[in-house]
Structure 1
Amino acid sequence: MAEYFKTFLKTSDHLFKIESDETAIKAISFVKELEEPSEIQPQVLEIAKQQLGEFMEGKLQDFDLPLAPDGTDFQKKVWELLCKIPYGKTWTYADMANRLGDPKVIRAAASANGKNPIAIVIPCHRVIGTNGSLTGYAGGLENKRFLLDLENRIANGVVELF
């Protein structure tokens, strides 16, 4: 198995673990506790940390990172499709299945969505229930709501004054 490296990003409200191999991002996840980062920090980790920080500040909408998530061919197809959901927009699980070419794969698409290892960059948080509900999110529904609200504010030009 290839060696993975890790670093962490702490924002005002969130803590992320970012993992990579030498050249590509393998995983980004919400975590509760800080761990010891890897001694070796490939450049891709530093770039991901910077871009994720800018995204969380509302300064970045499109990531430019090499991604290499581990998964089945179908999961990878779903994850590639997720990357086509525009910033500030949402699709339903039915939309996903239809775009995959078969409305009957809705459960499989939802399952693949839930196994996405690269949170935020592969924007699985942009998929909602057919009735508009915020359904499951590996990072927690409160984080899904936070991300959708953040994107909605930025995409619609809403500036908060404190």
Structure 2
Amino acid sequence: MSERLTTGDTAPDFTLPDADGKSVSLADHRGRKTLVYFYPAALTPGCTKQACDFTDNLELLAESGYDVLGISPDKPEKLAKFREKENLKVTLLADPDKSVLTAYGAFGEKKLYGKTVTGVIRSTVVVDEDGKVERALYNVRATGHVAKILKDLGIAAD
């Protein structure tokens, strides 16, 4: 079971391929706050809802100084299909070997329909301009999560 991150930790750096196979690094976002969210699988109902919510609020987040990166164990080809099908604007990154998911504590044991299983723990980590963890949220719900983050960060939706 991977360790969960807490406020003040240094966010593990990473470089992963996006939906087009281009490398994206956390270091590319230094100087801006970054919401790194982890989700189990592209093209599933909950993950679609969450990705659409982030896309709908992307401009508001950007205006408030936040970039958004979504990470799942899917391959870039599946992420590209997900982006096209749902018209997503959020940057989706592929972590098929789950190394970044594990480094962020977003892969491990979780409860699913009353059973303990190993898998992606739906999580969001807010990384500050200097690469430190501002907040780490684990076992979040797909629905309503983005609205809660906006509220927690003091970003009001119109």
Which protein is bigger by CA-based radius of gyration? 1
Task: Point out the structure with the larger helix share.
Answer: 1
TM-score normalised by the chain length of structure 2: 0.26
TM-score normalised by the chain length of structure 1: 0.25
Which has the higher relative contact order, 1 or 2, with Cα contacts under 8 A spaced 6 or more apart? 2
